[in-house]
Structure 1
Amino acid sequence: MKNKTKNILSLNFDQISHWLINRGEKEFRAKQLWPWLWAKRVKDFSLMTNLSKPLRKILAQNFCIKWPEVRDIKESKDGTVKFLLALEDEKLIETVLIPEKDHYTQCLSSQVGCSLACTFCSTGQMGFKRNMYSHEIAAQILVAQDYLQKKNSPKHLTNLVFMGMGEPLLNWKEVREALQIINHPLGLNFSRRKITLSTVGIKGVLQDFGQSKLALLAVSLHAPTQELREKIMPKAARWDLNELVSVLAEYPLARRERITIEYVLLGGVNDTPEHARQLVRLLSRVKCKINLIAYNPGPDSKYRAPEKKDILKFEQILWSKGMTAILRKSKGQDISAACGQLIVMSKLNS
Structure 2
Amino acid sequence: MPITFTEKDFTLKTASHNDAMVIEAIIANWKIGNVLVDTGSSIDIIFTNTFTEMKIDPHLLEPAEVLLLGFGGKPVKALGKISLPVLFGNLDNARTEHITFDVVEMCYPYFAILGRGFINKMDATIRQLFLCMKLSALKGVITMYGDQQMARNIERGSTSGQKNVHHLAAASEAEEHETKKPYVEPKRDRNKIKISVDGETKRVLLDGYITDRYVTIGANLEPREDHGLIAFLNKNKYVFAWFASDLHGVDGEIIERSLDIRPGAKPKKQKLRKMSDEKVHAVKAEVDRLLEANVIRPILYPEWLANTVPVRKNKMADGECVSISQI
- What's the TM-score once normalised by structure 2's chain length? 0.22
Q: Larger Rg: 1 or 2? A: 2
Higher helix residue share? 1
- What's the TM-score once normalised by structure 1's chain length? 0.21
Higher strand residue share? 2
